Amino acid sequence: MIKSEDIRIGNYIDVNGIAQVRGVTNGGVWIRNKAFVIMDFKGIPLTPEILDKCGFEQDGEVIFNLPNTPAMVFCKDGIVDLYLYGHPIKKDIKYLHKLQNIIYENIDTELTITL
């Protein structure tokens, strides 16, 4: 289950379909002018297709680079590890909102996502 403190405005989550968070409350989120409690939503699993929709470019079989940034991910068999400047930052990232937050926290960049 996702913790409300792990969500921020702009994150993408699954609330009966993929949606972008427009507001965060204590224990819930606002999406499409409607409030949802934390039990109503879940993370979007990271896949090569999702990484592509986030602007990552595939470089080989399991490596994805984010152009014009030091970010690179290793994605194989449902395991996603993030590297910055070639150094491991976070291992086994499972969900899109987590990747969004880690990228933002470390390189002050929002992912451009087209889902």
Distance CA 102, CA 108 (A): 9
Q: By residue range, what is the domain housing residue 73?
A: 48-107
Tell whether 11 is covered by a domain.
yes
Do 96 and 56 have their domain in common? Answer: yes
Instruction: Please tell me the predicted confidence (pLDDT) of residue 34.
Output: 79
Q: Which amino acid is at 3?
A: K
Number of domains forming the structure of the chain: 2
Q: What confidence score (pLDDT) does residue 32 get?
A: 79
Mean pLDDT computed over every residue of the chain: 91
- Residue 45 tokens read as 């699993």
The structure's pTM equals: 0.91
**pLDDT tens string 25-36:** 887 888 877 787
Per-residue pLDDT, 28 = 82
